[in-house]
Amino acid sequence: MRLASHYLHKRLYNRVFVLIMGLVLLLTLSLLLMAWVNAQLHTTSLVNRKLNQQMRFLLDDSIKKGRLVKVNSPMFSSFVGSDKGLPLYLSNLTEQGVFKIEHPKVYVQVVSSPFSDGLLYLLYFPEQDLERSLYQNRLKYYVVIGVMALLGIGLVASLYITKIIVSPITTLQKNIEHASPDSPPVVLDREDELGQLSRSFTNAFQRIRAFVEREHNFTRFASHELRTPVTIIQGALEIIAYSPDLAKAQPALRRIESANNDMQALIRTFLSISRESRTEQVELVSLQGCLDYCLQQLRPNKAELLSVQYSTHSKLVNKILAHVVIQNVLRNAFSYSANSVAIELKFDRLMVSNDIDPDCHSGYGHGIDIINVICEKADWLAFYRCHDNRFSWLIYF
């Protein structure tokens, strides 16, 4: 039992094969039972036919000779009720018909005697019938051959059907084993439950790839964005180091505190981006206030080239996310502009454009990626283009 249990639980293939073979055996036993019933019916019909033929021959011969002709052969024997040598088991048969006696094994047909008021008994001994024995032997031979052929066909069919059933599962298993977050498993082209399971695995791998991508983005974005507050802290520390008067160092300390708050906000922002959903409460601030704060933090050397236009009112937005987006847009504009930077804010629309310095050959780093990811996270719309030697951002908060 333990070996059978181990065999069944080891592989799904084994369980399916055993189930199908069990059905084949059940079908074989059913056909064998039907063959046995049919053989019994045929045997009974054969016995009745032989008894009727022999009784008809006996009566015809007796009528022709004017006296009762008895039969005494290894296969047939006849008696009348008045015979002194009447076997004991015949004395109890008082009705006409065909009867089967188990001991000894004999079939008896009882009819009225045409020459007396008694009964005529015709006995048939099946074990002495060579034709019947030959028929039974042939029947056994055909039954055995049929059962063996059915079992052989059932075995081959079971192996084939089991392979067909288990093959998609095996294929799915191999696809998953060779899959990775960057290469999800191939979807099985099926409409049944296995196809749905395959698509579920593929979707799961795609979600895993999205998780991994968010982790990579967190690392890249954090290293990119934390450079500004780290630079501010470094500059403030250098000022403090060369300032003997603590009161004169207060502006530097305030900048350190502000940069530290910015770093904490950035870390919370990127952790939020790396998660699949965000449930924490956010602080809202006006777009104009956020823009002023970012301009103050960056303090561009090209301030004389800066053109800023504000609307009367601006929309309230997520302070941390808006700060990261606007700071990236302004930093890129100030870093790569040649002669002018134009900023226009109208309620929820921010447009920043700058000409491009031909001597500047560096790219835009991860700033564009950060802006796109955050805008997608916050359901904002962001567009940028480079046209006529001028780069422009248009963001709807």
- For residue 302, tell me if it sits in a domain: yes
pLDDT value of position 308: 85
- For residue 270, tell me if it sits in a domain: yes
pLDDT surpasses 80 at 62: yes
Residue range of the domain that includes 271: 226-280
- For residue 8, tell me if it sits in a domain: no
Residue ranges in the chain assigned as alpha helix (H): 2-10, 12-65, 88-91, 130-177, 193-225, 227-241, 250-274, 287-298, 319-336, 367-378
Are 335 and 360 a contacting pair, CB within 8 Å? yes
d(CA 287, CA 351): 12
Residue ranges in 337-392 assigned as alpha helix (H): 367-378
Task: Quickly state the pLDDT bin for 6 (edges 50, 70, 90).
Answer: low
DSSP 8-state assignment for residue 314? B
pLDDT value of position 228: 67
Residues 104, 28 share a domain: yes
Residues 17, 141 share a domain: yes
pLDDT value of position 311: 77
pLDDT value of position 364: 46
Can you name the residues that pair with 386 across neighbouring β-strands? 391
**Of the listed ranges 2-11, 50-59, 133-142, 209-218, the one predicted with least confidence:** 2-11
Element (H, E) at 123: strand 119-124
Are 110 and 96 a contacting pair, CB within 8 Å? yes
Amino acid at 251: P
Boundary-marking domain end, from 117, 148, 179: 148
Q: Is the dihedral of CA 371, 376, 379, 383 positive or negative?
A: positive
pLDDT digits (tens, 9 = 90+) for 358-391: 766 554 455 777 788 888 888 999 999 988 888 9
Boundary-marking domain end, from 218, 253, 280: 280
Q: Which two three-digit tokens encode residue 68?
A: 């009762």
pLDDT value of position 381: 94
DSSP 8-state assignment for residue 127? G
* Domain count for the chain: 3
pLDDT surpasses 70 at 61: yes
CATH code assigned at 313: 3.30.565.10
Write the DSSP assignment of 259-271 as a string of letters: HHHHHHHHHHHHH
Residues 371, 262 share a domain: no
pLDDT digits (tens, 9 = 90+) for 225-263: 666 677 777 776 777 766 666 666 677 677 777 777 767
Are 366 and 376 a contacting pair, CB within 8 Å? no
pLDDT surpasses 70 at 270: no
Q: Which two three-digit tokens encode residue 352?
A: 């920043």
pLDDT digits (tens, 9 = 90+) for 161-200: 888 778 877 887 788 788 777 777 878 777 777 778 788 8
Helix axes 193-225, 319-336, angle to 10 degrees: 60
